[in-house]
Chain A
Amino acid sequence: MHRTGDLYGQFQTLEQQKETATLGMWIFLVTEVLFFGGLFLTYTINRSAFSTAFGIGSNTLDITLGGGNTVVLIMSSLTMAMAVWSAQVGKKKLVGIFLIATLGLGTVFLGVKAIEYKQKFDHHLVPGRGFDMKYHPTHPMPGDDPKELALEKKEVEEAFAHDPDINAHAQLYFSLYFGMTGLHALHMIVGAGLLIWLIRGSFRGRFTPQYNNPVEIVGLYWHFVDIVWIYLFPLLYLIDRHR
């Protein structure tokens, strides 16, 4: 279907086009809820079955980095909403600025995530061969706080006594950790791509009060990805936290 101006050929009016695109994005987000939902369900069931393993798994996550990331992402939703607003009131220059800010904050999030992943890799906490909860407490890395490390060692040993299969069960925790945050990060990368596309459009002055639907629906997507993180953070980082 060919496009004349902003109107794609299958539509009668711009209003219809906007309504359609928006409904399409909402329905897509519903499918995403179900998609993540399966993982959330699996996590919840496994958490209640293996609370010890999941507890010490949670404790290996860095709450500062995780909390910081949460703030970063919430702020990025703010800048995204500002971008949508700017387009709606015709402040074309601001649209680009806010979109870039959103992209920047998203990139910060992904960078912090990469740091966390690397840490897990170094601590032998990636599921598969080589996974070992005991590795980090017995192989201190530069920059580790000895008191923290001693606490961690004690916890891991207690957990092993409680549940001899702790490595297998903790692997479930980390599989879900990588699976859920990885899937989330993938969605953020896609979101980043969409933002780049929008930024290019905004520099060409595409988004006006009459035509700003792309910004709005990418905004919907971005907010959804943010909400998923807001659920992930307490589930993965905060439950059973005592360090």
Chain B
Amino acid sequence: MQSQLPFYPEQASNFAPQVDALMLFITAICVFFAAAITVVIVIFFFKFHRKQPNAVGIAFHGDSRLEAAWIIVPLILAMAMFGWGAVVYVDYRHTPQDTLDVYVIAKQWMWKAQQPNGIKEINELHVPVGRNVRLVLASEDVIHDFFVPAFRVKMDVVPGHYNTMWFRPTKPGRYHFFCSQYCGTNHALMAGWVTVMEPTDYAAWLSGSSGGNANPVVAGEKLFAEKACITCHVPDGTGRSPSLNGVYGAQVLLADGSTVTADDAYIRESILQPNAKIVARYLPLMPSFQGQLTEEQIFALTAYIKSLQSQPIPAKGAGIAPPTGNK
């Protein structure tokens, strides 16, 4: 639904109609109360205007039933607002499984986005309509925030860890995105455009885009060899460290008995702080690569490790927790 009045941006994502409906609901409640209070005050102000200079008002000290009423009714309305907002938010914070993943890096004062096939964009983001898109956000310096008003979504980009956000574009077009966490001098210039395309156009754009940027999986595979990861993480499980076949997204059994999901954050942590979580039955041998890899290189390695999902998992020599019946 295109907004006829200039009161809200275009609705271009799955969240936009939900957020707008929520806004209208809360606006209705607020307008009602604001109008009611205003009308009553104005009426009282004129109706009870002092008639004689020495007149006093009539004392009413209070009324517990009224107090209860105007505590309980607002409380109920407040819980309704809270509840509906919570539902939308929980959906937003719970990324679906089948997403198109784009890695986004923020730095003072520009955005770099990397598509799954390796194509890089600066201050632009191309996405296909109707597809769940997940952005993995990393910062190279201070806190930024990726905000797309037409999608009604934003998420802070915090240095030191990943944040993710998701949305499903519903309408082709070009929409502003802004940095919306003050980040220094050119904070206001750190903006760009999200281009939502029909799936065929998006596919064409992906393959036709000039520059032939290296597929991150290929770049990651090169790095994996260059940085000697492969000397320990032997694919057939015979190395000093677990094979990484099939590990992405699986449950990993740790030395202390707990399990953890091998997601992007886990992989990043394993590269930068390898001794934070040791896989069961393995020694803490891995050196840290803190300061030796850029965020983009970490993304590339992650993409490569993700590509190993479909590789055969060795019977011995993987860190994956045995299935417990339920995944």
Contact = CB atoms under 8 A, between A and B. Distances in A.
Interface of A: 162-165
A164 B287 contact: yes
A164 B288 CA distance: 7
Contacts, number: 10
5 contacts: A162-B284, A163-B288, A164-B288, A164-B290, A165-B288
Nearest to B287: A164
Contacts of B275: 162-163
A162 B287 CA distance: 8
Given A163-B288, A164-B287, A165-B290, 4 more contacts: A163-B273, A163-B275, A164-B290, A165-B288
Contacts of A162: 275, 284
Majority-rule SS of B interface residues: loop
Interface on chain A toward B: helix, strand, loop, or mixed SS?
loop
A160 to B, nearest CB: 11
Contacts of A165: 288, 290
A164 B289 CA distance: 9
Interface residues of B, number: 6
A74 to B, nearest CB: 39
A199 B109 CA distance: 62
Contacts of B288: 163-165
6 A-B pairs with least C-beta separation? A164-B288, A162-B275, A164-B290, A165-B290, A163-B275, A162-B284
Nearest to B285: A161
B293 to A, nearest CB: 13
Nearest to A164: B288
Interface in B274-327: 275, 284, 287-288, 290
Interface in B244-277: 273, 275
A194 to B, nearest CB: 44
Contacts of B284: 162
A54 to B, nearest CB: 15
Interface in B233-250: none
Contacts of B290: 164-165
Interface centre among B275, B284, B287 (most CB of A within 10 A): B275
A164 B272 CA distance: 10
A165 B275 CA distance: 12
Contacts of B273: 163
B256 to A, nearest CB: 13
A127 B135 CA distance: 38
A165 B287 CA distance: 12
B273 to A, nearest CB: 8
Contacts of A164: 287-288, 290
A163 B273 CA distance: 7
Most chain B beta-carbon contacts within 10 A, residue among A162, A163, A164, A165: A164
Nearest to B273: A163
A231 to B, nearest CB: 28
B26 to A, nearest CB: 35
Interface in B9-35: none
